[in-house]
Amino acid sequence: MTDSTSSFRWIVGGAALLALAYFPTLSAPFDFIDDGNLVYPAPAGTTLREHTELWWHRVTANVEHLGPFRPVLWAHWQVQANLFGADSQLWRLFRFAWCMLAAGMLLWLFRELGIPPVAALLAGAAAMWNPYRNEIWTSLTLSEGVVMPYALFALISARKASRSEQPLWWDVAGIACVLIALGCKNTFAAIVPAQIALRIWPEGTSLRDALRKHRWRVMLFALPLALPIGHFIYFKLNWHAGQYATHAPSATQLLRYLVCLKGAIGLDFLGVGIVLAAGVVWWRRANPARKGGGFSTVHPPPLRAGFAHSPALLCAALLLAAGIVVYLPLNIVSGRYAMPAVWGLDILLAVMLAALLKLPVGALRSSAVFAICAGLVIVLLVNVNRQERTANRARMLWQVVSHLESTAPEGATIAWISGDPSAGELGAEEGIHLQWHLTQRGRPDLRIALFDSTEQPLSRVELPPTADEPLFRVTATAIAPNRTWETDRSFTMVYQFGRKRYDCHVSRRLPSPRFADEETRAEVGRLFTEMVTPPEPADIWKLDCW
């Protein structure tokens, strides 16, 4: 068996193992985060030209309403919607396969950077199972999940080309993947410096010599950056309220982003193991000939274990630095926004684990390995718990959709009382996607009206305003029956063996007392009139007495 065949097999096997963490997602329904307007196909009979026009309309509308220019991402969404229809199981199966592809690309990149298989698998598990960024796989449509295989393959191609006697096709593939990645999300421009460094600066070469030899290639690889730069200029010149806002870089955003990276690398769960591993590697470097503690002087000192991966360290540093820079103009963070900067930390973790596993077997090394593995078990459990929580919330909201579409009269308006979802309340975005799900499922006549927790109207560009009086009221907390509302239906999803739950309550408006009194008076008046009005003479014979 050749080395390439063996490497291919362990990469495929490792990718399948890493992706298995998301096996529970296969039974999850569509969510209420992004799925409401992305998973439904175009009407039957739509021509290719109409598909293209619809795609371009959505691309330009995305720019107009939010600002991002994402033509490749919209192409992904539209092709999948028309291939899979509104079948959540097909969508989930494809996303699971895409997750496995992304995991395989990550392991392949580790291999190209010289990381041994075991260290690569441990670092890959820390990256793919991290609950802080697992939303890109529990959700069906988030851009980071779509772009991950392309971006990683761009780095792999650069590393392959630098060592190939015929690098042309690797260069073409790498540039094409960067263009695709930028067409999904502009912030992945952060991979270009690492791509250039891996391509032009092999081991044993000075930077000056590398630039002298590859100056035209550097310009060629940097050319795709014209797309995000041009888009940013257009965005700033045409910005209007409702779009994403950019600001001057600040220390506050830097600190916010560093905290984001802390969560994305999993320090909350792996911190003890990482500190132990780093300490053991450092101690062994400082005491290469020391006996005891499980180390033997028979083995060569592993001081250069980390430096053997100079391309890995260079790639990691550039990904981390550029990934931080591209998010400094924003004032928001999210677990998925840590990409691609967090890939630099993933590579550094893999390098450290490689150095640790090269040490002679001993108590300290075993303790560090055990702490890392124990942390990964905790990461996996927390990840699965978050998947269960996300799926159960979606199942509860789908019960609301089914109830409303089957019982609400035509043209009914539904008040959606929103608040903080982390506190168990309903989110405004969930109400927006509930409207889109209802529309796509054949009830466009139903109107969702958004209200905040104080029941004041919310204005969102995604939903047109309505002045109609709501017939239904949806909230996370039950209300006591009163003269205005009565309980119509309550929904509950219990998870974590009964320890946690989601609640949602639908109320129906009672007839107004004023209208009820008028109807009663009209009926009483009609009966009284019939009692006191004598019958026509021709009908007297029908009466027993008169």
> If you write DSSP's letter for every residue of 504-535 in order, what string do you get?
EEEEEEPPPHHHHHHHHHHHHHHHHHHHHSPP
Helices (DSSP H) in 113-246: which residue ranges?
117-128, 135-138, 143-162, 168-184, 192-200, 207-222, 226-237
Q: Is the pLDDT of residue 301 over 50?
A: no
Q: Is the pLDDT of residue 348 over 80?
A: yes
Comparing 356 with 201, which gets the higher pLDDT? 356
Q: Is the pLDDT of residue 527 over 60?
A: no
Model pLDDT for residues 371-402, shown as the tens digit of each residue: 999 999 999 999 999 999 999 999 999 999 99
Question: What is the pLDDT at residue 215?
Answer: 85
Range in 188-202, 231-245, 287-301, 351-365 with the lowest mean pLDDT: 287-301
Nearest to 160 by CA among 207, 111, 123, 119: 111
Model pLDDT for residues 217-251, shown as the tens digit of each residue: 889 999 999 999 999 999 999 988 878 888 889 99
Comparing 11 with 528, which gets the higher pLDDT? 11
Tell me the pLDDT band of 7, cut-offs 50, 70 and 90: confident
Range in 153-157, 302-306, 509-513 with the lowest mean pLDDT: 302-306
Structure tokens at 512: 């107004």
Q: Is the pLDDT of residue 136 over 50?
A: yes
Q: What residues have CB less than 8 Å from 302, skipping those under 6 apart?
A: 281, 284, 285, 355, 358, 359
- Look up residue 304 and give its DSSP letter: T
Q: Are 392 and 317 in contact (CB under 8 A)?
A: no
Tell me the pLDDT band of 293, cut-offs 50, 70 and 90: very low
Question: What is the pLDDT at residue 518?
Answer: 52
Question: What is the pLDDT at residue 337?
Answer: 94
Q: Is the pLDDT of residue 299 over 50?
A: no
Question: What is the pLDDT at residue 84?
Answer: 94
Range in 55-64, 262-271, 304-313, 376-385 with the lowest mean pLDDT: 304-313
Mean local confidence (pLDDT), 328-357? 94
Cis peptide leading into residue 340 (ω within 30°)? yes
Nearest to 504 by CA among 388, 410, 426, 392: 426
Structure tokens at 261: 């990276």
Q: Where are the domains of the chain?
A: 3-385, 386-516
Question: What is the pLDDT at residue 519?
Answer: 52
Question: What is the pLDDT at residue 286?
Answer: 74
